[in-house]
Structure 1
Amino acid sequence: MIYILPLLSVFAGYVISIFLKPSSSTGFQLLLSFSGAYLLSVTVFELLPEVYAGDSSEVGIFIMLGLLLQIILEFVSKGVEHGHMHHNDDTGSFPFLLLLSLSLHALLEGFPLNNSGHLLHGVVIHKIPVAAILSVFLIRSKISKARIFLFLTIFGLMTPIGSWLQENLKFLNQYSVYISAMVIGIFLHVSTTILFESAKNHTFNASKLAIVVLGILLAYFI
């Protein structure tokens, strides 16, 4: 499931993009908020205690490096990881830099999935709205359907590849705490940005508050 679900979630996002307008759909925005709350909660409840359970004094440095890395990646991706897309439409060219940025993000988030089923659920829920926003951009960019499929397939495969590398390249085990710490920094930036940017004027309404609380409770009890 670690290898299949992240890929399926990307194509689920593509299907959603065909039937909904993510930028104006209330249901889509609530799904985005739920994904941010769930991902943030799993990060705080599970990943943070794990990386701080050891004796390494450098964990905090790598968390901040991960956060900084995500900020740098968003210079290229323009915020698609947290549900925003600000690229110009109708370019007609294949967005290689965007694919590179998203692929690095997706590759890193795959590393800690072998150790947490809850995190897998969070990543999958997070990928669905992200893939929907991304699909809308790709369709509006007027690139061919074959290239859209290629882009989404590569993007969808990167997280399973990250999980596979962590599982099969044993030398990575000695760096697993540091990689997980960087992923925490990435998740902290993405999830908090989702929570504060997915509502108009950065305010919480009753529906969003309820869905955020639901995401936190599910992450804690499941």
Structure 2
Amino acid sequence: MEYLALFLAVVVGYIVALLFQKKELPQLPIILAFSGAFLLATTLFELLPEVFESSSEHIGVFIMVGILLQIILDFFSKGAEHGHVHMHSDKKTFPLLLFVSLSLHALIEGVPLVDNSAMFYGVLVHKIPIAIILALFFTKAGYKKSTTLSFLLLFAVMTPLGSYLMSSMPPLKVYANEINAVAIGIFLHVSTTILFESSKNHTFNLSKMIAVFIAVIIAYFI
């Protein structure tokens, strides 16, 4: 059911994008800020203590690797992981670099979800607004519907695939803490960037501030 929910999160994002493709979605920055705060809070409350409790003293190196990896992925995806897509193409062909970078990001973010319900909800909430933004970008940029659907469907499979590989491949479980630490670095980079970039001039209005506080409180109690 968790695999299906992760897949359906992208489907929901696509449906919302279809409903608002010809109009603005003013609530999207607030939803994005909520998702960023929720992902950050679940990472700090759940995953970070778990990794440090059962890991070596060098685990911080792997967290830093995750941050640096996400910076590299951002270079190719143009910031799609945290809600900004700045790509221009006259040919409107399948954006392979965007797909590879987003897929690697989604694959790694599926790893910590095994036996961790809080992180599952954190990633689930994160995926919906990202899917909305991706679908809106493809639609407004004039990509064919077949290209948009194939991209989003393949992207939707990646996070469940990451969870499946971790749960079904014993060699990966040996390095679970290290891989989770890399995921922490990715989550920290993405969530904090969302919080800064979801607000104009890096300032928060009252509605976004309330959304952030609500997200943190919910994350603490789940």
> CA offset at residue 55 of structure 1?
4.3
What is the DSSP-based 3-state SS (H/G/I as helix, E as strand, rest coil) of the residue aligned with 2:27?
helix
2:118–2:219 CA contact under 8 A, matched in 1: yes
Partner of 1:29: 29
Work out the CA distance in 1 between the residues paired with 2:188 and 2:40.
Answer: 6
Partner of 1:183: 183
> CA offset at residue 115 of structure 1?
2.1
Which structure 2 residues correspond to residues 126-165 of structure 1 after superposition, within 5 A? 126-165=126-165
Partner of 1:100: 100
Q: AA paired with 1:94?
A: F
Task: Report the number of matched residues.
Answer: 222
- Residue deviations 1:83-125, cap 9 Å, x none? 1111115541110111000000000000110121111111111
Please list every run of 5 or more consecutive structure 1 residues that lacks an aligned counterpart in the other structure: none
Q: AA paired with 1:145?
A: K
Which structure 2 residues correspond to residues 76-87 of structure 1 after superposition, within 5 A? 76-87=76-87
Partner of 1:213: 213
Q: Indicate whether 1:8 and 2:8 are aligned.
A: yes
Work out the CA distance in 1 between the residues paired with 2:27 and 2:20.
Answer: 9
1:90–1:142 CA contact under 8 A, matched in 2: no
TM-score in terms of structure 1 length: 0.95
Work out the CA distance in 1 between the residues paired with 2:9 and 2:174.
Answer: 30
Work out the CA distance in 1 between the residues paired with 2:89 and 2:129.
Answer: 19
- Residue deviations 1:37-96, cap 9 Å, x none? 100000000110011002401210000000000000000110111111111155411101
Q: AA paired with 1:49?
A: P
Work out the CA distance in 2 between the residues paired with 1:192 and 1:121.
Answer: 18
Work out the CA distance in 1 between the residues paired with 2:117 and 2:89.
Answer: 37
TM-score in terms of structure 2 length: 0.95
Please list every run of 5 or more consecutive structure 2 residues that lacks an aligned counterpart in the other structure: none
Seq. identity, % = 50
Partner of 1:39: 39
**1:55–1:69 distance in 2 versus 1, CA, 3 Å:** closer
